[in-house]
Chain A
Amino acid sequence: MGHTIAVIVIVGGGTAGWLTAGYLAAEHRERVAQGDLRIVLCESPNIPTVGVGEGTWPTMRSTLARLGISETQFMVRCNATFKQGSKFSGWRHNNSSEHCYYHPFAFAPGAEDGSLASYCALTNQWQGFSTLFGAQQSVCEAQLAPKNITHAEFDGALNYGYHLDVTAFGVLLSEHCQSVLGVEHIVADVQEVLQDECGAITALRLPDNQELKGDLFVDCTGFKSLLLGDALRVPFRSEAHYLFNDTALTTHVNYPAPDSEIDSCTHARATCHGWIWDIGLPHRRGVGHVFSSGYADVEQVATTLANHLGTDEAGLDFRKISFAPGRRDRIWQANCVAIGLSAGFVEPLEASALVMIELSAMALAEGLPRHTSQLPIIAKRFNAAFLYRWDRVIDFLKLHYALSERDDSQYWRDHRKTTSLPESLQELLTLWRYQAPRSSDFPMAREVFQSLSYQYVLSGLGYKPDLGREPTPDLIERAQHAIAHNQQVTNQLIHQLPGNRELINKIHRYGLSTI
């Protein structure tokens, strides 16, 4: 029974749709070239893409490399800059807005098991963890790039992702997928989803009674969730009781001068209503205030944002984006998998949406079923893996609120009520009252957020474990050695690395070499 899978139809031409198409076509290059597998992407001429999402993870480097897009071309066409992590300001208290901490992308070798963080806790340097064992925070503070012009594409002195113009990225992906990777493109509104008696999708009805048939369907229709949600009726599960934010006010601002330095991290500044992101591209900054419509109204937030920017509200052109925080109960059902906003979305505090798209597209491409009889098993595994990841994303984002001591609004006070904390997070926080996060606290080999990320946030927010012992001589020696080494590396990097803008200008002018 069943049949082989030869036509994959992707609905939606946002970042999710094109990244999925790209992953599939690149992974199955030979089959696509031989006509044995067709990848068809259908997007509406009328419904715009969401048009936000300017911060990526370091995973984007391997994604681009897999798709065969050169880093130089990407940086020039998408006005990309280097992102080395996030800087959180004002998250701990509201009385001192100066308090800040970093969640950098760099790995701190030897820190996964929590021992180096323990050393910090035991020697009264808990909040110094990120600078004692890593150079990246100092590099970001100095507004330096993570690499030199002599580094090859995708290579660097420090780990990095990007800030980018998402609309330009969509255009680049679309061109590349079609001209290089053999993805077929249809511009049409899907009017109806046709299903067989078992609930599998057989075809999509397009205007003029045309039908688009396929064996496997990927729903990348954004918040609409046209296939998985509307047609297959997989229920939406709200996470608003954990993560209250459901609205963003966004705008673009210019630099004070064309050669102003570009920050190499995303700024996330807490306010009494939520937080403001500030992302630097070469020609402008993208700024947005994320908040909960249940706690603040747009006018209040617009004023806060304008104050933050030091401008007059009237001069700013705000765009309001509403979203329901949450995800579908299942992400894969029958022969339909949702990738992108159609699968779910929670606030962009750690820019985890694109990385979930990359992980989903990679898992789909690598585990692509050849025959429809494989579908139920693959669906089961995919759901287990990605629902687990969604829960970890929610835990990690909530952590930023749960440990805050801000009390300038009901919003923040409610955020740390026990009833608003996922049980899994409560458990982790209980463990971490007496130990530093370590990789064995998490069951998956490829966790979205590693133990190190938790260590950065806990130390940044002052949640210090009570270890109840003295550091062992062995730990002292290892930690001091690592600290001395890091000091040396930091000094070297501060000396050698160019400014972020300087390097971006050079890349526009000379390009990066592929080797």
Chain B
Amino acid sequence: MSIYSNEHKEYLKKKRRKTIFVHMTQIFIILFFFIIWEYLANKGIINTFLYSSPSLIIKTIINLIKQNNLFSHLFITISEVMISFIISCIIALFISTILWWNEFISRVFNPFLSNLNSLPKVALGPLIIIWAGASIKSIILMSLMISIFVTIINFHQSFIGTDKNYITLLKSMNAKKKDIFFKVIIPSNKENIISTLKINLSMNFIGVIMGELLVSKKGLGYLIMYGSQVFNINLVITAILILGLLSFILYYIITIINKLIVKKR
């Protein structure tokens, strides 16, 4: 335990005040946006049939909850994201480890990987549906296609970018390749790995929604698609807003995990 001096306390207080001010401003901007939206809708300046309004969105949410639909759609989307996130992490970690382990393999497959990575995966959508059927399988496959290559490339880049001095040191201790991997490559790249996981998560999010838009059975993507087909803009915008909220929460969870893993020194 350290006892803070008065100047130090003052410094911390100022810092905290600034942070609070930033958050207040952010909340204010959001509120302002919704209030203006509602105001314009009420005055009839914008057409609620095309642009909806906050009060209509709240009604839609209440309706969805009453029909006991909202949470099942939410649940489906979240589980699809989680499943594809976990699968893509495992596969990407495995493949990038092999690429790091064996330079020959990495040189052979690098051009394929960057090519696959830059291919617009939506183009594969119809094929995926034909191969995997209009089911959750297609959605997860779509999501993996979108997330996996960039994750492999990022993992591999950070592995081979590890400080050479650390590796030389371990080699001077007669370390095996396995030791180098677990004692240097992984711990020295903790930050990189976590930021890659963040990217991977948002990629999976994109992939799942894209899959749901294509396959359309359940989930937030389905709500958007369905809403647009029956021209229920309230439903579309509600689903989009929930989607935004969801991605914010997921991002926040990863940030917390990040803080737990990369402990302060």
Q: Report whether chain A binds chain B.
A: no
